[in-house]
Copies of this chain bind each other. A is one copy, B any other.
Amino acid sequence: MSEVPSRVVLREVGPRDGLQNEPPVSTAGKVALVDALGTTGLTEIETVSYVHPKAIPQMADAAEVWSAVERRDDVRYSALVPNLVGARRALDAGFGDIEVVVSASTTHNLRNINRTPQESLDGIAEVIELAHAAGASCQVIVATAFGCPYEGEIAEDVVASYAARARRDGADSICFGDTTGMGSPPRVRRLVGRFRDLDADAPLALHLHDTRGTGMANLVAGLELGVWRFDASVGGLGGCPYAPGASGNIATEEAVYLLGELGVETGVDLDRLLDVAELAQRLVGHELPSRVLKAGPRTRLSDSS
């Protein structure tokens, strides 16, 4: 427990990962969401993805969103890219941080992009090179890192080896994605431990989901391993495409609230973030799963009159 970080960086992924799995939101709505998030103290926002509009129509206006966002000096905006073409678009648009994904599950990767993980990693090496040539950073996200909705168990050795390969190819950081919420504290400990055996110094982030209620316990497990970068989605935007009605990303305000209780700094103004979660709820037109959004922080007392 001694290595628990005193400060955590939360990357807000609601505008991209969240909205990708919600009913379409207008371009102006997306811009308003990103701009509002920028006022909360969050320092990293995954803003858009440059995927093909046929694959994910929700992100067809990525360029328009990004050109309209009020870019703040105290926020790093990033874009998810699927391949070299998307990477070029993101870098040409001025993104200084991009992310690219490989799924540790062969079945999942084949079904998503008709490539094996090895083929994806070959392409990712080129994306990293392109990013670096443009002076940008590139994070490699290893999806289905804690289990696959088709294959079930994915060996930690396999997940860790893909991450290590990406690092050898120059990835600036690694993010383990719990794509469908199959993680649990022992799985977090085993995978992080296994990866550190291969690459002790790699900057490491966790992208946790709360689909089975383990999100906050997994966050604590990651923290206790010294991990200090986590993804989260305002309001819990996004849901889980594999289980209709189920939760997806951990909610940013639940993470901020719990980290505050743990005495870990996030720099995020929780009240302001809750206002943004309400905005997100209005934009998608349905109730979001965040429990802190529903109940408020513990400091919000009942009227005792």
A contact set with B: CB distance below 8 Å? 107, 111, 147, 149-152, 180-182, 184-187, 210-217, 219-220, 240, 242-243, 245-247, 251, 254, 257-258, 261-263, 287, 290-292, 294-299, 301-302, 304
- Contact assessment for B294 and A217 in the assembled complex, using a CB-CB cutoff below 8 Å: no
Cβ distance A226 to chain B, nearest Cβ, rounded Å: 16
- Contact assessment for B261 and A297 in the assembled complex, using a CB-CB cutoff below 8 Å: no
Separation of A291 and B289 alpha carbons in the complex (Å):
10
Q: Report chain B residues within 8 Å CB of A295.
A: 180-181, 211-212, 240, 242-243, 246-247
Closest to A259 in B: B184
Q: Report chain B residues within 8 Å CB of A251.
A: 213
Q: Report chain B residues within 8 Å CB of A219.
A: 217
Q: Report chain B residues within 8 Å CB of A245.
A: 287, 294
- Contact assessment for A296 and B258 in the assembled complex, using a CB-CB cutoff below 8 Å: no
Asked if A213 meets B257 with Cβ closer than 8 Å, knowing A185-B262, A295-B181, the reply is: yes
Which residue in B186, B243, B257 is a CB contact (below 8 Å) of A261? B186
Cβ distance A236 to chain B, nearest Cβ, rounded Å: 9
Which residue in B149, B216, B261 is a CB contact (below 8 Å) of A187? B261
- Contact assessment for A258 and B217 in the assembled complex, using a CB-CB cutoff below 8 Å: yes
Q: List 6 A-B contacts (CB under 8 A).
A: A152-B298, A182-B298, A210-B291, A213-B215, A213-B257, A247-B294
- Contact assessment for A152 and B301 in the assembled complex, using a CB-CB cutoff below 8 Å: yes
Residue among A147, A211, A251 with most chain B CB within 10 A: A211
Separation of A190 and B216 alpha carbons in the complex (Å):
20
- Contact assessment for B213 and A301 in the assembled complex, using a CB-CB cutoff below 8 Å: no
- Contact assessment for B292 and A254 in the assembled complex, using a CB-CB cutoff below 8 Å: no
- Contact assessment for B291 and A212 in the assembled complex, using a CB-CB cutoff below 8 Å: yes
- Contact assessment for A292 and B216 in the assembled complex, using a CB-CB cutoff below 8 Å: no
Cβ distance A258 to chain B, nearest Cβ, rounded Å: 6
Separation of A219 and B184 alpha carbons in the complex (Å):
13
Asked if A261 meets B299 with Cβ closer than 8 Å, knowing A107-B304, A212-B291, A216-B217, the reply is: no
- Contact assessment for A184 and B261 in the assembled complex, using a CB-CB cutoff below 8 Å: yes
Asked if A297 meets B212 with Cβ closer than 8 Å, knowing A263-B186, A291-B246, the reply is: yes
Separation of A107 and B228 alpha carbons in the complex (Å):
40
Closest to A241 in B: B302
Q: Report chain B residues within 8 Å CB of A187.
A: 261
Separation of A295 and B211 alpha carbons in the complex (Å):
6
Which residue in B212, B247, B263, B287 is a CB contact (below 8 Å) of A298? B212
Closest to A261 in B: B184
Q: Report chain B residues within 8 Å CB of A111.
A: 304
Asked if A149 meets B302 with Cβ closer than 8 Å, knowing A247-B291, A261-B185, the reply is: yes
Q: Report chain B residues within 8 Å CB of A152.
A: 298-299, 301
